[in-house]
Structure 1
Amino acid sequence: MNSLISPDNTWMLLSIMLIAVAVSVYLEQKYVWASKLSGAIIALLFALVLVNTNVIPSHAPVFDDIIWGYAVPIAIPLLLLQANMSKIWRETGRLLFIFLIGAAGTVCGAVAGTLLLGGYVEGLPKIAAMMTGSYIGGGVNFTALADAFKPSGSLVSAATVADNLNMAIYFLALLGIAGNAFFRRIYTHPHIDDVEKNGISDEGKTLAAAYWGRKNISLKDIAMNMMYAVVVVTVSKLIGDALTAVIPLDNGFLKMCNTFFGSQYVWITLISMVFATYFDKQAAAMNGAQEIGTFFIYMFFFVIGVPASIMSIIMNAPLLFVFCLFMVIVNMLFCLIGGKLFHFDLEDIIIASNANIGGPTTAAGMAISQGWTKLVGPAMLVGTFGYVIGTYLGIIVGSLLGA
């Protein structure tokens, strides 16, 4: 059936997409319910409604070529400008250690979950790779791995819907653990004790509005950000294409190496990490990079909702929800058991697991909402470190599982 707006009407489709993104950002920063849902998911839901009511087409050059081909790769180096490895190592201390334990749990959960459910969901190894990156890093890694392994659009959308239902339950579970007397008896909890003794302030803002406060940005900042991102992507593509051409495909190991080293996102991540670490002053001076990168990622979430059939999501999402839930449970078990063995505070365990599953923004947001102010910075840093390693581990898991 033909859509109301044709695939070739690029300006109209671009207008609709950017209106949806702008409304999503507004709602996220205005209302608590939207902040909890996240603007990215609201943008995806806009696309789901528009495509299933036949207003916009399921495929169009503006979605397939411009967003996937240009906006997404440019977003990643901008979002990784905070990935200063020396700072992450120096300031996170014990939290980084428990974060890595949780990352190991994510990998184990992805592999075990695929072995259990792979026969029931076609393309699950691709989703396992994407969720490994997402549940160690975040949406940046999900995006990169979706482009690397190229699962069907409907499967990606179904996985995203399943993941976000799972995330809502997961965040409630973490808050429940923080307030549970059983866990408080087992673990030390100095930050919770301090909050209960001194109280916390509440300015009435949503987490999104507080996090994305107004910042100074100049024309030079925009020019430097875009120049940097495009050059990083260009160099990464050249390196990836060259290695794809020279690494043979004679056996499984070489195929995995070809996939790993031939991915532009591996080199985008590496180059961005090196720049953020060794040119940290220049990276810190590039105001607006996170905002521009996140805006592009919101457009990506709209686009992954475009090819989604509601019927496909109803058929696929239940098992994908079980798969995502299994990965999260394994991650939490690794964090809780590892935290007990190595004498971590309960707050460290909760924030580290959140930084794994939800990424730096949600981890910092939870620390802010609970009044654990001393953990806000470390939460951002370990979550950002997840951005660095998430794509690598996702590619390794996907390659091992045959994605």
Structure 2
Amino acid sequence: MGESLIQPNDTITLWGIIIVWASISIYLEQRYSWASKVSGAIIALIGAIVLSNTGIIPTESSVYDAIWSVIVPVAIPLLLFHVNFKKIWQESGKLLIMFFISSVGTVAGTIISFFLLKDHIPYLEKIGAIISGSYIGGGVNFAAMSAKYDTPGEMVSATVVADNLMMAVYFVILMLIPATAFFRKRFNTPHIEEVERGIGSNEEGKTLAEGFWKRKDISLKDIALSVGTAFLLVIVSFKVAEFIGQAIPSGENVSTILNILNGLLGDKYLMLTTITFIMLALFPRYFESINGSQEIGTFLIYIFFVVIGIPASIPLIINNAPLLLVFVFIIVMINMVISLTFGKLFKYNLEDVLVASNANIGGPTTAAAMAIAKGWKNLVGPILVVGTFGYIIGNYIGTLLGFWFSSMM
């Protein structure tokens, strides 16, 4: 694509557009019933896709990097301050099994898609390894597997675009499924029903979103304690994870156990979630006394929704490698079918199936963002913990598939 109307270094304008569009998305969701059914998250994401694909904003900028590296980490503890601590542990075990089932869907999808398209897409044995790792653990694994396999830069770039576009489309699909009567009739939906019960007593005429996010008392002290505590938790957690990551050796010449320990204890998001849980257990009254943390955290997540859609460049994928989009589409659809089928067989809640599949394809942060947007607050913590395991197993599974695929080329 050519140059955008707004340049990547015009940071104040880009920040403004992202925040204004996130605000408009929330307003529409709470003002109009059609927008409430679609959800503000999808409105934010689709708007971003339109803005980037029409050349108004660039597909890459330091602003987007800042949102990934600052806004998202701060939002996570803010959303955990008022979750039900007991339910976190109850949900984590169930979600872990569902996550592994969904990972099987990714593996099956990658194998089927590889055999269908291996004669039509160059370097597919390497791309297949990269994508399989990514669609079990998220973007962290994509970066690690790309560095591991010597794939031409243009193919990696085209794969990134196909991945981003597919993730954006799949996110929309996952957000729409809970509103579909077909799935509501066939699955238990306790988290959806809890949200609906919570707004049942509100005034007539309010949308689902407006009823859930009803006005609350909040003071300047609440805002200060919410944001200040969140930043403190992020700083401590990231520094601890960085220290442990450097202290525990990792790499090809290191034992599997040390690699796993490095991956677990050195992961900044898992450390952030763990330390936040510890603080919640030690100082429950302090966190219960803070109002507004959920609202502030959710607004930050809506900013993140806008950024998810920006890299999804449709012209770039059409011009460079349209078959790559077909490749990732097959993988994602098989993941979804296997997740929903076995979720139904094992009597899983619909919400568990959807966030587990999301954690596979997009990683724990996008899955947590989905749970936040839907009001499934007791799934936010568990899916952040469970999704992090994908960072570890994704690279191993991707490597094994890469060896197998390479032996056939």
Map 1:3-402 to 2 at 5 A.
3-64=4-65, 66-88=66-88, 99=95, 101-117=97-113, 123-130=130-137, 154-167=161-174, 170-171=177-178, 175-179=181-185, 203-248=204-249, 249=251, 250-251=253-254, 253=256, 254-312=258-316, 315=322, 316-339=324-347, 349-350=349-350, 352-353=352-353, 356=356, 380-381=377-378, 383-402=379-398
Contact 2:131–2:142 (CA<8 Å) still a contact in 1?
Answer: no
Distance 1:317 1:38 in 2: 25
| Cα root mean square deviation, aligned | 3.9
Query: Which 10-residue stretch deviates more, 316-325 or 257-266?
Result: 316-325
Who is 1:344 aligned against? none
Residue 264 of structure 1, CA deviation: 0.9
Letter in 2 for 1:311: P
Per-residue CA deviations over 1:37-79 (Å, capped at 9, x if unaligned) read 3222222222222222222222222222x21221111111112
Query: Which 10-residue stretch deviates more, 144-153 or 29-38?
Result: 144-153
| Secondary structure of the structure 1 residue equivalent to 2:334 | helix
**For residues 154 and 361 of structure 1, do their structure 2 counterparts lie closer, same or farther at Cα, with a shift above 3 Å needed?**
closer
Residue 256 of structure 1, CA deviation: 4.3
Distance 1:362 1:15 in 2: 23
| Secondary structure of the structure 2 residue equivalent to 1:171 | helix
**For residues 200 and 101 of structure 1, do their structure 2 counterparts lie closer, same or farther at Cα, with a shift above 3 Å needed?**
farther
Distance 2:292 2:265 in 1: 30
Distance 1:88 1:229 in 2: 19
Contact 2:72–2:300 (CA<8 Å) still a contact in 1?
Answer: yes
| Secondary structure of the structure 2 residue equivalent to 1:401 | helix
Per-residue CA deviations over 1:219-238 (Å, capped at 9, x if unaligned) read 11111111111111111121
**For residues 228 and 168 of structure 1, do their structure 2 counterparts lie closer, same or farther at Cα, with a shift above 3 Å needed?**
closer
Distance 2:336 2:352 in 1: 13
TM-score by length of 2: 0.72
**For residues 224 and 168 of structure 1, do their structure 2 counterparts lie closer, same or farther at Cα, with a shift above 3 Å needed?**
closer
Residue 162 of structure 1, CA deviation: 2.9
Per-residue CA deviations over 1:335-393 (Å, capped at 9, x if unaligned) read 32223xxxxxxxx7445445645768988999xxxxxxxxx9xx643x23433423322
Distance 2:372 2:64 in 1: 32
Letter in 2 for 1:394: G
TM-score by length of 1: 0.73
Residue 168 of structure 1, CA deviation: 5.6
Distance 1:40 1:201 in 2: 23
Distance 1:211 1:390 in 2: 26
Query: Which 10-residue stretch deviates more, 35-44 or 110-119?
Result: 110-119
Letter in 2 for 1:207: L
Distance 2:88 2:247 in 1: 35
Residue 202 of structure 1, CA deviation: 9.3
Contact 2:298–2:372 (CA<8 Å) still a contact in 1?
Answer: no
Residue 101 of structure 1, CA deviation: 4.6
**For residues 145 and 16 of structure 1, do their structure 2 counterparts lie closer, same or farther at Cα, with a shift above 3 Å needed?**
farther
Letter in 1 for 2:81: L
Query: Which 10-residue stretch deviates more, 53-62 or 116-125?
Result: 116-125
Letter in 2 for 1:167: L
Letter in 2 for 1:384: V
**For residues 178 and 53 of structure 1, do their structure 2 counterparts lie closer, same or farther at Cα, with a shift above 3 Å needed?**
closer
Contact 1:21–1:302 (CA<8 Å) still a contact in 2?
Answer: yes
Contact 1:145–1:391 (CA<8 Å) still a contact in 2?
Answer: no
Residue 115 of structure 1, CA deviation: 4.0
Per-residue CA deviations over 1:83-109 (Å, capped at 9, x if unaligned) read 4433545xx6xx877655534422332
| Secondary structure of the structure 1 residue equivalent to 2:346 | helix
Distance 2:231 2:212 in 1: 26
**For residues 304 and 354 of structure 1, do their structure 2 counterparts lie closer, same or farther at Cα, with a shift above 3 Å needed?**
closer
- Please list every run of 5 or more consecutive structure 1 residues that lacks an aligned counterpart in the other structure: 132-141, 193-198, 340-347, 367-375
| Secondary structure of the structure 2 residue equivalent to 1:287 | coil
Contact 1:77–1:272 (CA<8 Å) still a contact in 2?
Answer: yes
Letter in 2 for 1:113: G
Distance 1:33 1:305 in 2: 21
Per-residue CA deviations over 1:170-203 (Å, capped at 9, x if unaligned) read 4366x325547xx9xxx9x9xx9xxxxxx99994
